[in-house]
Structure 1
């Protein structure tokens, strides 16, 4: 009787193996055979799920951004400006695995930043994040927590850029978690000081 394989579980196992291999060898040096060996499957099995190394890398990116979306967009609207600042601080927390992935992401996709299609997809995440923050800011203005002269759309996009920047710093510069936590707290405090009604 043939073995029943959970497709999602197999894909996740392959993606995790690929990330380990790419981190160890570098994306351009790694082969599908290396990924198969790390995943404990035959090379042909990889091709049942991914047509080539690039498709595997794209799937890795989508999985990573899906996880980020859950973290960034989950939850309800904050009731106060301080609660919003705390949620920002939590959102900017970068687990060690995610911090290591940042360098890998730019190694794998760096040259794709010249592609309009890629940039639409990648930039779309930050458009959505800016809009999400703008919605929170609009709500906080309506309940008197944020100054009325603040522009929610511009501030939302600015926050998305700041969150992105502080997360990138954690990965690119290997900032220790303790130091990074202080940066997150200071950024949130600066936000509160600048916008409080």
Structure 2
């Protein structure tokens, strides 16, 4: 009877092996044969799942960003400015796991940014985060929860960039929790005051 293989699980296994090899050997030094060995596969089997190292790396970057995206910006409806601010706080206060993944991503996969496909995946991540933030702001303007004179698109994408900058800065430079939380509280208060309808407290 033919062996049944969970293809999705196998792809994850290969991507985890690739990350391990990139971490220990360096991105450029790691070869497909090294990745196959780390995954416990024949080299030919590896090529059934990924035709090249570039294709594997692009899939790995996409997978990592999907994990980070789910943690920092879960898809959910926001009904009030308070909901929106709470979501941003959750995104800024990323878990230790997310911080480790972010640091590993830049340290290990930074050299892969020479690939147009990888750059497109990274750009797509920021596009999705910005688009989600923009749509939420448009809804809040429509229901009278935030000022009607804001540019929802520019503001939403600026907030996405702010989240990226603060989360990445914390992950890469290991800011003390107390200092980071003070920065986060100050930033959120400034943002709330800029969004709330004039005259509200």
TM-score class normalised by the smaller sequence: 0.7 to 0.9
Structure 1 pair 102–175 and aligned structure 2 pair: CA distance change class (3 A): farther
TM-score, length-normalised on structure 1? 0.82
Write the distance in 1 (CA, Å) between the matches of 2:100 and 2:5: 27
- Do the aligned residues in 1 keep the contact of 2:80 with 2:145 (CA within 8 Å)? yes
Partner residue in 2 for 1:75: 76
- Do the aligned residues in 2 keep the contact of 1:14 with 1:39 (CA within 8 Å)? yes
Residue range with higher mean Cα deviation, 96-105 or 152-161 = 96-105
Structure 1 pair 19–4 and aligned structure 2 pair: CA distance change class (3 A): same
- Do the aligned residues in 2 keep the contact of 1:21 with 1:38 (CA within 8 Å)? yes
Partner residue in 1 for 2:85: 85
- Do the aligned residues in 1 keep the contact of 2:131 with 2:157 (CA within 8 Å)? yes
Alignment deviations for residues 33-77 of structure 1 (CA, whole Å, 9 cap, x no partner): 22222212222221121112111101101212333444425111x
Write the distance in 1 (CA, Å) between the matches of 2:25 and 2:119: 26
Alignment RMSD: 2.5
Write the distance in 1 (CA, Å) between the matches of 2:46 and 2:2: 18
Matches within 5 A, 1:1-197: 1-71=1-71, 72-76=73-77, 78-92=78-92, 93-94=94-95, 95-99=98-102, 100-109=104-113, 111-112=114-115, 115=116, 119-175=119-175, 180-197=180-197
Q: Secondary structure at the match of 2:192?
A: helix
- Do the aligned residues in 1 keep the contact of 2:100 with 2:171 (CA within 8 Å)? no
Residue range with higher mean Cα deviation, 175-184 or 143-152 = 175-184
Write the distance in 1 (CA, Å) between the matches of 2:177 and 2:2: 47
- Do the aligned residues in 2 keep the contact of 1:73 with 1:129 (CA within 8 Å)? no
Write the distance in 2 (CA, Å) between the matches of 1:102 and 1:134: 26
Write the distance in 2 (CA, Å) between the matches of 1:34 and 1:176: 37
Alignment deviations for residues 147-182 of structure 1 (CA, whole Å, 9 cap, x no partner): 222211110111121112123223432446665555
Shift of 1:27: 0.7
Listed as ranges, the gaps of 5+ residues in structure 2 are: none
Q: How many residues align?
A: 192
Write the distance in 1 (CA, Å) between the matches of 2:2 and 2:176: 48
Write the distance in 2 (CA, Å) between the matches of 1:153 and 1:119: 22
